[in-house]
Amino acid sequence: QVQLVESGGGLVQVGGSLRLSCAASGRTISSYTVGWFRQAPGKEREFLAATSWSSGRTNYADSVKDRFTISRDNAENTVYLQMNSLKPEDTAVYYCAANYRGLYYSTARYDYWGQGTQVNVSS
């Protein structure tokens, strides 16, 4: 079992930045891939980025790869999502998730989810 807790969301103006955190605990997180997703009202949950804890490899959605960066702190068992140049369309609930299969885009491949953190980008 893996527990995930997101934090760092909030209200930011257009063009601003936020760093989201995903604190992991439970089973050995070093064998898992951790991903970030978001879900806006009325829309499906969308893949943003993922990182393999063991290999360090990362994967990004094309829509955010120039603005978002995923990273991890092994000592703190925490994965971060640095978000820059935020736009109103980035407004959503942001989730982190974990799986032991690999760097997948699909939500169906992820076994554990956090509760989400709200990000609002105002114009």
Tell whether the model's pLDDT for residue 76 goes beyond 80.
Answer: yes
Q: What is the pLDDT of residue 15?
A: 97
| % of residues, the chain, pLDDT over 70 | 98
Looking at residue 28, what is its pLDDT? 67
Q: What is the 3-state secondary structure (H, E, C) of the chain?
A: CEEEEEECCEEEECCCCEEEEEEEEECCHHHCEEEEEEECCCCCCEEEEEEECCCCCEEECCCCCCCEEEEEECCCCEEEEEECCCCHHHCEEEEEEEECCCCCCCHHHCCEECCCEEEEEEC
The pLDDT tens digits of the residues spanning 8-57 come to 999 999 999 999 999 998 866 777 899 999 999 999 999 999 999 888 89
